[in-house]
Copies of this chain bind each other. A is one copy, B any other.
Amino acid sequence: MKELSVLLKDIRKKKPLIHHITNQVTMNFLANGILAAGGSPMMALHYEEAEEAVMAADALVLNIGTVEPDSIKAMVLAGKKAKELGIPVILDPVGAGLSLLRKKAVEELVEQVSPDVICGNAAEISFLYGGDWGGKGVDGDQSENDDELALHAASKLGSVIVITGKKDAVSDGKECIAISGGHEILSYVTGTGCFSTSLIGLFMARSLETGLSCCQRAAGALTMLGICAERAKAVSAGPGSFQTALLDELYLLNPEDLNTAGRWS
């Protein structure tokens, strides 16, 4: 898809500022991944600076992986300000059903912020859609019909829904894109799920010029990650060298190679 190559070229040229209020476990990897892909990451935490920090941003990524009451407050303030300014908001509801605290976090964020995109695994999106929590810790298993779940959840929640798994699914309630590719070694590196969300943030950045739909932009980010993961796998011995090579491949990817042929359905 030629428009995706143009989008990636524009990312590399404009280096959009992707602001994160995110978990403590993977923030370093997210920052390095955004830099490697061509963006400019920013992380801030405290609600006192939440509104000011988001003002310079081209997209806002919210991730509840190690959420606390204070960070919920920061996320709501930043999210509302972002929406007011037309800055896209992308939510990763990590472990959504694990605790009342996380349930409260996602409910407040969905109701008060209404994120443009919500990106999670099947267990997390199922929980947001129907309230059932079948997850184990923060890593959810793949369900058989993610396409359908994405479609229904998007209709109900009014956000573009992304479900990551062996095969990813993206829907806005009408359009639905299934993305294949990547490699299972991704599941041996912490934060690759979180990074999917961050990379979608980068592809959604407001400063970019494109005629692509939201679904296509999100699917484009997942395609980039899939291609780079396959290339990194080919030159690595295990998850340590894979993570290193993944950052290299994100940096090295030629925009012309961001090809969806045989990947989207």
Contact = CB atoms under 8 A, between A and B. Distances in A.
Nearest to A246: B240
A233 interface: no
The copy count of this chain in the complex is 3
Contacts of A254: none
B237 A248 contact: yes
B240 A245 contact: yes
Interface stretch (A133-141, A176-184, A195-203): A133-141
Interface string A138-156: 1100000000000000000
Contact of A46 (B25, B49, B68): B68
A7 interface: no
Given A48-B100, A98-B53, A137 B245 contact: no
A60 B43 CA distance: 23
Contact of A191 (B28, B49, B57, B252): B28
18 contacts: A24-B24, A24-B45, A26-B28, A28-B28, A28-B190, A28-B191, A31-B191, A32-B240, A42-B95, A44-B98, A45-B66, A48-B68, A48-B69, A48-B100, A49-B99, A52-B99, A240-B246, A240-B251
Given A49-B98, A68-B46, A240 B29 contact: no
A32 to B, nearest CB: 5
Given A68-B46, A99-B48, A238 B247 contact: yes
A254 to B, nearest CB: 13
Contact of A252 (B44, B99, B136, B238): B238
Contact of A137 (B17, B24, B98): B17
B239 A19 contact: no
B24 A190 contact: no
Contacts of A188: 35-36, 251
A31 B189 CA distance: 8
B238 A137 contact: no
Contact of A45 (B48, B68, B138, B248): B68
A50 to B, nearest CB: 9
Contact of A100 (B45, B52, B189): B52
Nearest to A139: B40
Contacts of A138: 42
B190 A238 contact: no
Contacts of A252: 237-238
